[in-house]
């Protein structure tokens, strides 16, 4: 630190000079995509980003960074970046564009949208986004501000990423629950209030590599170093399985059965927390009865996990207090999503690990009453009830009203395909790449998107989706080129400042600035801010932007454990939980009211060796997909050479015995196929996977190849696309879709194929 440039009110520097560079303490989020919000130091010289490093004084990442953040500079200065607004100047898919000014582009979009609003109503325009950004609130605000209730998660069928878990938690416990790693306490593990969990379960979550939803995988390691024992539930070996007391290597998609089997052991061996259950849980006797259908011997058959491991793991979890569970995406990614979540939740509820130090933290109602400082993720209040009632899937899937107020993707697809309940005439696709990544049944997704008469894509790069369906493409800037504020370390813990390092390159703009400028053109009264910076400042409640920026991050001071005992969770101020019965609902009165089974259960997925034995003769292997590599965020980063070198090609993991039978050698290109489609991957032969299972990467396209379609879609996005094998479906709840747990076969690629 050669010279301090800026300090906060306590005199702590947040910007200084070092070796001729300006160093700023900030945070990194999106773009490019990211779920987390790491503390970073940005180094800038003469207006140019020199490097990004981890901020050692950040209490959450403690100076650590992943390879994608370390390569941020390569993304910022990538020659592939979109530089100007583009309007289509040929047929869709021809990759012919006219460069236009922002005014021209935004006027064109505003005119189209206004005409649709006048002639058909604002609901005929859908505003859709992918995952993992700190700009959710500004995309939904654009939709709601111009009158459309149709903000949502693009082609993420069954909203199968975190939403099954979030909405389940909201319905069964009235709040979001997440593992307590002392993230809400300023002294972290040393805070006297905190207790180290005796046991942690990581469930369908490779958190060491994925750090999802503001949770840092290394917190698990920190706790293991402090004595916590680990149980890992995963069909493949990863770092966590290798270091676990119990690795429960289950058959993909059988998670609910495993959790029910563990509940059976805990209840029948009388290992549950009687006092907690009596006081705070609803429907325990019904759950006790239900789990009798899942004795460990039967569960072992369903899940392939040996009976003694099911029993041992259940005992370890129930007899360690506190104990906690870090669950992940694989809980959501099949049509059992809600039952999976319900059964796993019951494990922490009946053992009394709720809002206790080292157990499962309860957020307040994270959607409608978020932290005082954070923007509301999906504030529908500016829409009339009549407009809200038009949300696609809202009526059909009442569970959708708990949590994010978003569209139901399967219902959106139906509306586009059939015009029912009303036609969809324009699509706004911001931060999503449906045909290469987001959607199951990728070819159908393309056909569906093509049906929409007018599409706008907002992205950093030209994508297969933009080439195939966009009429206008708008270039956004990276996280290094804009200010922002974001939640820290799971949503309600506090707020983090994002201070821009450099000005936006070329003619790019911050996403929220783009949305603001468009919103102003259509319904100015709902977009009164002067600029994105102005908007950002007014989003912060109780503090100013200058305060947040100079403090870099600030905690929500109101944090308390055991909020249910203190009357802090319910609007009536009474003790208990924000559910219809005021208790944690092991038996859900809401599910019952909606005509769904109120108790957790296991249902065999629709295409497995058990449910479709005939099909399994042809396609004998069970497919799981999408395990995340360090170097890519979904379909991103393939054009960044430093990252691509680490994983140059799409891969499928196969057990050596199966590879031997098929005559496949490590590194060979193979075909993975089923009755719906086929895709090519390089075989990665590993003993870490069960011989009956294969794991294929998702989200592959090839930015180095031709944007024109030579039979495999733009940039060959249909050459190694595992979502040619998946299908569009969802459960009766509207949550969960089969991104995993389907049948397939692997074979050698024939010559000339
Ligand atoms: N088979 C299979 N399919 C899957 C999955 C799987 O596990 N298996 N995972 C699913 C899951 S969980 C998810 S969440 C989806 C993810 O699906 P998406 O969120 O759609 O995927 P990404 O590739 O992360 O993002 C899409 C685009 O957003 C752009 N982008 C990144 N950051 C920003 C930003 O800040 N602003 C703007 N305007 N653009 C930005 C990127 O350049 C990229 O082109 O995929 C799903 N698809
Ligand atoms: N580097 C990187 N990080 C990311 C992302 C990325 O693309 N790249 N994507 C982000 C997004 S949007 C999300 S949703 C999260 C997801 O992050 P995670 O929740 O960690 O999900 P995955 O990595 O898909 O899979 C987690 C583990 O589940 C296992 N698994 C597979 N099938 C099953 C099953 O049926 N049951 C169980 N119990 N386990 C199974 C896999 O083997 C894997 O080890 O990661 C986020 N973080
Ligand atoms: Mo996700």
What's the whole-number mean pLDDT along residues 726-735? 96
- Give the pLDDT confidence score for residue 390 in this predicted structure: 98
Statement: residue 263 has pLDDT above 70: yes
Q: How far is CA 682 from CA 415, 442, 538, 638, 672, in A?
A: 38, 20, 50, 16, 10
- Give the pLDDT confidence score for residue 363 in this predicted structure: 81
Kindly indicate the confidence band of residue 377, based on its pLDDT and cuts at 50, 70 and 90.
low
Interval between CA 29 and ligand 2 midpoint (Å):
19
Interval between CA 498 and ligand 2 midpoint (Å):
27
Residue 244: Cβ within 10 Å count? 21
Please tell me if the CB atom of residue 431 comes closer than 6 angstroms to any atom of ligand 1: yes
Tokens of 310: 């099911």
Give percent above pLDDT 90 in the chain: 89
Tokens of 229: 């024992």
Statement: residue 59 has pLDDT above 80: yes
Interval between CA 25 and ligand 1 midpoint (Å):
27
What's the whole-number mean pLDDT along residues 438-459? 98
Contacts of 419 (CB under 8 A, 6+ apart): none
Interval between CA 422 and ligand 3 midpoint (Å):
29
Say if CB 294 and CB 301 are below 8 A apart: no
pLDDT, tens digit, 9 for 90 and up, residues 144-157: 999 999 999 999 99
Map tokens 């004595």 to a residue: 227
Residue ranges of E strands in 67-184:
86-88, 97-99, 125-129, 151-152, 177-179
Q: What is the mean pLDDT of the chain?
A: 95
Statement: residue 490 has pLDDT above 70: no
Tokens of 623: 């497919």
Kindly indicate the confidence band of residue 13, based on its pLDDT and cuts at 50, 70 and 90.
very high
pLDDT, tens digit, 9 for 90 and up, residues 188-246: 999 999 999 999 999 999 999 999 988 999 999 999 999 999 999 999 999 999 999 99
- Give the pLDDT confidence score for residue 369 in this predicted structure: 40
Phi–psi pair at 81, nearest 5 degrees: -65, 145
Please tell me if the CB atom of residue 438 comes closer than 6 angstroms to any atom of ligand 1: yes
pLDDT, tens digit, 9 for 90 and up, residues 558-603: 788 999 999 988 889 899 999 999 999 999 999 999 999 999 999 9
Say if CB 596 and CB 168 are below 8 A apart: no
Task: Look at ligand 1, atom 35, and give the residue with the nearest C-alpha.
Answer: 31
- Give the pLDDT confidence score for residue 364 in this predicted structure: 63
Kindly indicate the confidence band of residue 376, based on its pLDDT and cuts at 50, 70 and 90.
low
pLDDT, tens digit, 9 for 90 and up, residues 399-443: 998 888 899 999 999 999 999 999 999 999 999 999 999 999 999
Spatial separation of the C-alpha atoms in residues 351 and 277, rounded to whole Å: 8
Report which DSSP code applies to 129: E
Spatial separation of the C-alpha atoms in residues 66 and 313, rounded to whole Å: 32
Statement: residue 729 has pLDDT above 90: yes
What residues does ligand 2 touch, defined as CB less than 6 Å away?
35, 131-132, 161, 203-207, 209-210, 212, 233-236, 238, 250, 252-253, 255, 328-330, 624, 626-628, 630, 632-634, 740
What's the whole-number mean pLDDT along residues 513-533? 96
Could you tell me which residues are beta bridge partners of residue 459? Answer: 475
Give percent above pLDDT 70 in the chain: 97
pLDDT, tens digit, 9 for 90 and up, residues 339-374: 999 999 999 999 999 999 999 999 864 443 444 444
């Amino acid at each position: 630190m050669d010279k301090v440039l800026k300090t906060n009110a306590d005199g702590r520097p947040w910007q200084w000079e070092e070796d001729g560079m300006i160093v700023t303490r900030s945070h990194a989020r999106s773009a490019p995509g990211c779920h987390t919000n790491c503390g970073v130091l940005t180094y800038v010289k003469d207006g140019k980003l020199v490097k990004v490093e981890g901020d050692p004084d950040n209490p959450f990442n403690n100076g650590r960074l992943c390879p994608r953040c370390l390569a941020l500079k390569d993304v910022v200065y990538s020659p592939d970046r979109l530089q100007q607004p583009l309007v289509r100047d040929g047929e869709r898919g021809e990759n012919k564009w006219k460069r236009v000014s922002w005014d021209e582009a935004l006027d064109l979009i505003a005119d189209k949208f206004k005409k649709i609003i006048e002639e058909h109503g604002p609901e005929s325009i859908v505003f859709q986004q992918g995952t993992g950004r700190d700009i959710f609130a500004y995309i939904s605000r654009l939709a709601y501000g111009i009158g459309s209730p149709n903000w949502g998660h693009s082609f993420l069928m069954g909203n199968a990423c975190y939403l099954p878990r979030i909405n389940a938690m909201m319905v069964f416990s009235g709040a979001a629950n997440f593992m307590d790693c002392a993230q809400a306490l300023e002294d972290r593990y040393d805070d006297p209030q905190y207790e180290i969990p005796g046991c942690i379960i990581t469930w369908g979550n490779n958190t060491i590599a994925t750090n999802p939803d503001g949770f840092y995988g290394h917190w698990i390691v920190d706790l293991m170093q402090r004595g916590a024992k680990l149980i890992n539930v995963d069909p493949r070996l990863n770092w966590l399985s290798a270091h676990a007391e119990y690795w429960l290597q289950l058959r993909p998609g059988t998670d609910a059965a495993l959790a029910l089997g563990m509940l059976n052991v805990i209840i029948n061996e009388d290992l549950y927390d009687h006092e907690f259950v009596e006081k705070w849980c609803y429907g325990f006797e019904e759950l006790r009865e239900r789990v009798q259908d899942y004795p460990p011997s039967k569960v072992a058959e369903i899940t392939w996990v040996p009976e003694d491991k099911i029993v041992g793991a259940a005992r370890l979890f129930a007899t360690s207090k506190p104990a906690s569970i870090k669950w992940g995406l694989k809980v959501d990614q099949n049509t059992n999503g809600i039952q999976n979540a319900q059964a796993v939740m019951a494990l922490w509820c009946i053992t009394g690990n709720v809002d206790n130090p080292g157990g499962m933290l309860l957020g307040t109602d994270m959607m409608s009453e978020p932290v005082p400082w954070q923007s509301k993720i999906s504030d529908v209040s500016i829409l009339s009830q009549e407009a809200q009632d038009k949300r696609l899937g809202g009526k059909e899937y009442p569970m959708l009203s708990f949590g994010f107020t978003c569209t139901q993707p399967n219902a959106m697809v139906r509306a586009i395909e059939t015009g029912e309940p009303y036609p969809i005439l324009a699509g706004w696709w911001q931060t999503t790449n449906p045909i290469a990544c987001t959607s199951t049944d990728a070819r159908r997704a393309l056909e569906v998107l093509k049906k929409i008469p007018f599409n706008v894509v907002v992205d950093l790069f030209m994508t297969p989706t933009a080439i195939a369906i966009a009429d206008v493409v708008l270039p956004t800037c990276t996280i290094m080129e804009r200010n922002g504020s974001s939640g820290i370390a799971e949503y309600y813990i506090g707020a983090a400042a994002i201070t821009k390092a450099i000005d936006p390159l070329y003619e790019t703009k911050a996403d929220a600035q783009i949305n603001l400028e468009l919103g102003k053109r259509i319904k100015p009264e709902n977009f009164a801010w002067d600029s994105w910076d102005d908007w950002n400042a007014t989003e912060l409640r109780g503090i100013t932007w200058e305060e947040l920026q100079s403090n870099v991050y600030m905690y929500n001071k109101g944090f308390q454990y055991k909020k249910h005992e203190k009357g802090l969770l319910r609007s009536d101020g009474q003790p208990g939980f924000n559910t219809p019965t005021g208790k944690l609902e092991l038996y859900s009165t809401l599910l019952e009211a909606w005509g769904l089974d109120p108790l957790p259960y296991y249902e065999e997925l629709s295409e497995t060796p058990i449910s479709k034995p005939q099909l399994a003769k042809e396609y004998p292997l069970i497919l799981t997909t999408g395990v995340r590599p360090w170097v890519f965020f979904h379909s991103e980063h393939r054009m960044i050479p430093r990252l691509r070198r680490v994983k140059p090609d799409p891969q499928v993991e196969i057990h050596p015995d199966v590879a031997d039978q098929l005559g496949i050698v490590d590194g060979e290109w193979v075909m993975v196929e089923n009755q719906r489609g086929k895709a090519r991957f390089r075989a990665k032969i590993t003993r870490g996977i069960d011989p009956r299972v294969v794991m294929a990467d998702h989200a592959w396209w090839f930015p180095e190849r031709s944007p024109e379609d030579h039979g495999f879609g733009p940039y060959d996005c249909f050459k190694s696309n595992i979502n040619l094998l998946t299908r569009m479906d969802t459960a009766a709840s509207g949550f969960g879709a089969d991104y995993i747990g389907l049948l397939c076969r692997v074979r050698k690629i024939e010559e000339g194929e």
